[in-house]
Amino acid sequence: MSWLPKSPKARRRLWVVAAVAPILALAVGLSLWAMRDSVTFFFSPSEVTAENAPAGRVVRLGGLVEAGSVERDGTGEIAFVVTDNLASTRIVYRGELPDLFREGQGIVAQGAFQPDRTFRATQVLAKHDENYMPREVADRLKETGEWRPEDGAPARAGVPTT
């Protein structure tokens, strides 16, 4: 008894699937192999080790900026420490920091570790919480009287503020 179907039409379909499957698998494999350098992994300071984030490999590092750790020198470099309350990592960055950057605030820095395990950032992104609102939206709500300054959130439509 043969494992091939008896119908000629079904056999043709099986041969087409058998011919297309390896080509498709090869295409997917080559695509993934080509994209391996464009993948950027995210780590917190306690997850970073020399094995999973070797020196020179571009990664993203996220956590809270430690209070009192921000240092600015005359050359335009800014150094600060990021923590996740389990471990801390020193980050060095040259450039403009985002407006939302401050001590105690969450940030994500993209860059690479140096051989001395200092993180050299090429980009710093400041994270915001769910209460963030663009300035234009806040100004418009203030103009219409729907802004609630006691909790910083806008009033719901149709609900009077007290």
Binding-site members for heme are 128, 132
Yes or no: say if 113 and 141 are a contact pair by the CB < 8 Å rule. Answer: no
| Cα–Cα nearest to 84, from 59, 39, 135, 47 | 47
Q: Which residues participate in the annotated binding site?
A: 128, 132
Cβ atoms of 119 and 111 closer than 8 Å? yes
Identify the sign of the CA torsion 142, 145, 151, 155. Answer: negative
In sequence order, the 6+-apart residues with CB closer than 8 A to the CB of 37 are: none
Q: Residue 133 class from Cβ within 10 Å (0-12 exposed, 13-18 middle, 19+ buried)? A: middle
Q: Cα Rg for the chain, rounded, in angstroms?
A: 27
CA pair distance 25, 68, nearest whole angstrom = 53
